[in-house]
Structure 1
Amino acid sequence: MDELLTLDRGESPRVILRGDWTLANYSRLRRVQMPDVDPANDTSLQLDANEVSAMDTSGATILLNLFGAETLAKLTQSANGLSPERQALLQAVAQAVASQKASPPPQRWRLTDSLADLGAWTMRGWRQVLQFLDFLGVTLVTLASLIPRPWRWRWTALTAQMHHAGLNAVPIVMLLNFLVGAVVAFLGATVLADFGATIYTVDLVAYAFMRELGVLLAAILLAGRTASAFAAQIGSMKINEELDALRVQDLSPIELLVLPRVLALVIVLPLLTFLSIMAGMAGGAVVAAASLDISLAQYLTIVQDIPIRHMLLGISKAPVFAMLIALIGCLEGMKVAGSAQSVGEHTTSAVVQSIFVVILLDAVAALFFMQMGW
């Protein structure tokens, strides 16, 4: 029998440990074998570690292999001569191995699992839609109740939100649309030059920005810039329990926080859309004058022949986009659950949802207008 581990068959059987149970003595530890005893079924078995000189995780692992995780954890609690440090070491090793065995093995891909995931995603999306419709309904009811009571309108909050969401966004919106207008003009001239129809680059830029790009780029910029700000602001207020404080004072967060933001975006996005269209066509005019030998007077003459209804169709989509962007941002802020990580997650969700909804509705509107012959 190896002297590192012996069995004393007295009135109460004892497994006696001796010597060095460390990595330096690992070659001898590997040869240790369990005596003729079943530690899992023998409830009277005890562990005696009075003669152990040293122990580390290597020795603890050998004991774990000999006794098993559950038995070693049980014997460690009543062991003789085991210091608190070594007892904690054995308990930690036993618990770590037990938790690894308890974790289920990785499963292979199955079609049923993918279908289940698809169903879960669908249900989450459906719940998001229902939450948005409920929030939209509450907002519209609150707005309808305030219309006949102008003394409760929040003019200061509305003006501040128009300044932050509209006026401060003018430089970046105009710069982006100017650059995109120049790019569209370059691409159009490159393709149309092969057909000797370079002059139609003006129509391409004008139609694109009047009907689609002007409102789409402005809405996407507001979705990334303003929806995220709304979600972060309201989410931070919820974490600080400011929304609860408003409700305790019998004040409506919808009336104080949501409506000014929604109305501000509904007012400023059509104006930003008009500026976007002008900036995009200005970018096209610069390219036309610099590279296509089309003078500014000729450019303006061609643009004047385009029916104004195309610009009105583009601007008509702006209030709808604005309401959706503002409501999504405010709703995600209301859903924050009390931590900085939750604020970040819902802010990101507000941006992603806003951009997705804007592009989706723009595509639907484009198909509808085309079918209607507008």
Structure 2
Amino acid sequence: MHNGARYSLETGSGGSREGSGARLVLTGPYLVSTIGGVDRNLRSIGEDLSTIDLSGVTEIDTVGAYVASSLAQKHGAEIVGADERATRLVNAVSGSAGGKANVRPERPTTLTRVPAAVGEGVFEFAGGVRGLVTFIGALIAGIGTLIAHPRRFRGKALVRQMELVGVASLPIVGLMSFLIGIVVAQQGAVQLRQFGAEIYTINLTGRLNLRELGVLMTAIMVAGRSGSAFAAQIGTMRLTEEVDAMRTIGISPMEALIIPRILAAFLMMPLLGFYAAVMAIIGGAFIADLTLGIPFLTFLARVQEVVPIYDLWVGLAKAPVFGLIVGIAGCYQGMQVKGNSEQVGLRTTKAVVQAIFMVIVLDAFFAVFFTEVGWA
């Protein structure tokens, strides 16, 4: 063991406890790379030890310090001859370093945490507003570029996104709207029956779905379905550096990825909203035929008589605005993904939440606005 750790046993010399046991002298480097040859022999020492002498140790690390400390604890021996580094390591591994540091950091007080959280929220909101304004500016610039150079417009990408946003959404939007129509008609009839006015269930179902619920529920469904898809798709492309690669080869991500998606949501939302309103009215006619005794075709004919045409225009006017919000929220959050895959999930969730929140806020604004202009 010329280049490794070595040891020797000396009897009859016990240091401060002379005569009570043998003296173990460690020499050479006691490192993780050199201690393997003597470790097993040291563990198998059967004699009582009174002293472990480290004065001959040339180098030591935490493994060597642990071996010396465990031998000292096992035999009740005293460690002597250790230099400053060896003493520090032995104390550290034996738990006798005397440190009083808390395992967990102290939690700031409420008076500190609350203002800090509010401040972080304000800065995050300000940064989000600044980023959104920048994104909308880049979107407008991209649209202007396509108007000036129409041949750069990606028609196939737009058609594909219209298929994904519109055609693929028809089953779920239709089923949802049909069931909502059933619920509105059934619950409305229950309440109106108290006043002997069940016939006005037709008015309630027709106006409510054409004016409000049809387009609103469709926007929420599209936000959860297509808005989240926009954020996840673009976010994944950001994460895998496909967006950067597109810029490198001279393709504008705004023209290739973002504008087709936003335009598809903008164009398909009025059609989906109208489709949803029609399916809801059909659902109301279905339940009215079953439970109220109002024939199916009579219900539909009555809707044409009692629902003013401007209710249809109100719903169709709100739809493209809602589609624009859903598309911008999804694409913007997707472009903010960076760092790791967890960001994709976080940004997708933000896209859906922000889109639904803004849709509901704007719907309330539209309700007040159209009432003020006399389209109540």
Q: Is the 8 A contact 2:69 2:93 kept in 1?
A: no
Q: Are the structure 2 counterparts of residues 105 and 307 from structure 1 closer, same or farther at C-alpha, using a change threshold of 3 Å?
A: same
* Whole-angstrom distance in 2 between the partners of 1:362 and 1:135: 24
What RMSD, in angstroms, separates the aligned Cα atoms of the two structures? 3.4
* Whole-angstrom distance in 2 between the partners of 1:48 and 1:268: 71
Q: Are the structure 2 counterparts of residues 268 and 101 from structure 1 closer, same or farther at C-alpha, using a change threshold of 3 Å?
A: same
Task: After TM superposition, list the pairs within 5 Å mapping 1:192-231 onto structure 2.
Answer: 192-231=192-231
Deviation at 1:107, TM superposition (A): 4.1
Q: What stretches of structure 1 move > 4 A for 4+ residues in a row? A: 6-9, 47-52, 97-100
Q: Are the structure 2 counterparts of residues 49 and 351 from structure 1 closer, same or farther at C-alpha, using a change threshold of 3 Å?
A: closer
* Whole-angstrom distance in 2 between the partners of 1:53 and 1:335: 57
Task: After TM superposition, list the pairs within 5 Å mapping 1:294-305 onto structure 2.
Answer: 294-305=294-305
* Whole-angstrom distance in 2 between the partners of 1:178 and 1:197: 23
Q: Is the 8 A contact 2:219 2:323 kept in 1?
A: yes
Q: Are the structure 2 counterparts of residues 207 and 100 from structure 1 closer, same or farther at C-alpha, using a change threshold of 3 Å?
A: farther
Task: After TM superposition, list the pairs within 5 Å mapping 1:172-187 onto structure 2.
Answer: 172-187=172-187
TM-score of the two chains, using structure 2 as the length reference: 0.75
Q: Which amino acid aligns with 2:364?
A: A
Match of 2:327 in 1: 326
Q: Which amino acid aligns with 2:312?
A: M
Q: Is the 8 A contact 1:270 1:319 kept in 2?
A: yes
Q: Is the 8 A contact 2:66 2:93 kept in 1?
A: no
The answer on 1:262 being equivalent to 2:262 is: yes
Match of 1:274 in 2: 274
Match of 2:93 among 90, 95, 108: 90
Match of 1:163 in 2: 163
Deviation at 1:49, TM superposition (A): 7.6
1:282-309 CA-partner distances (Å, limit 9, x unpaired): 1110111111111223312321122111
Q: Is the 8 A contact 2:258 2:331 kept in 1?
A: yes
Deviation at 1:131, TM superposition (A): 1.6
Match of 1:69 in 2: none
Match of 2:118 in 1: 118
Q: Which amino acid aligns with 1:75?
A: T
Match of 2:346 in 1: 345
Match of 1:312 in 2: 313
Q: Flag structure 1 segments of 5+ consecutive residues without an equivalent.
A: 1-5, 10-15, 17-46, 60-71, 80-86
Q: Percent identity?
A: 39
Q: Are the structure 2 counterparts of residues 126 and 208 from structure 1 closer, same or farther at C-alpha, using a change threshold of 3 Å?
A: farther
Q: Are the structure 2 counterparts of residues 241 and 295 from structure 1 closer, same or farther at C-alpha, using a change threshold of 3 Å?
A: same
* Whole-angstrom distance in 2 between the partners of 1:246 and 1:160: 19
* Whole-angstrom distance in 2 between the partners of 1:242 and 1:296: 53
Q: Are the structure 2 counterparts of residues 74 and 359 from structure 1 closer, same or farther at C-alpha, using a change threshold of 3 Å?
A: farther
Q: Which amino acid aligns with 1:317?
A: K
Q: Flag structure 2 segments of 5+ consecutive residues without an equivalent.
A: 1-13, 18-23, 25-64, 75-83
Deviation at 1:365, TM superposition (A): 1.2
Judge which range, 292-301 or 227-236, deviates more: 292-301
Q: Is the 8 A contact 1:73 1:90 kept in 2?
A: no
Q: Which amino acid aligns with 1:362?
A: D
Q: Are the structure 2 counterparts of residues 208 and 119 from structure 1 closer, same or farther at C-alpha, using a change threshold of 3 Å?
A: farther
1:327-372 CA-partner distances (Å, limit 9, x unpaired): 1111111111132111111111111111111111111111111222
Match of 2:107 in 1: 106
* Whole-angstrom distance in 1 between the partners of 2:350 and 2:334: 10
* Whole-angstrom distance in 2 between the partners of 1:226 and 1:7: 80
Q: Are the structure 2 counterparts of residues 7 and 340 from structure 1 closer, same or farther at C-alpha, using a change threshold of 3 Å?
A: farther
* Whole-angstrom distance in 2 between the partners of 1:138 and 1:224: 25
Larger Rg: 2
Q: How many residues align?
A: 313
TM-score of the two chains, using structure 1 as the length reference: 0.75
Q: Which amino acid aligns with 1:355?
A: I
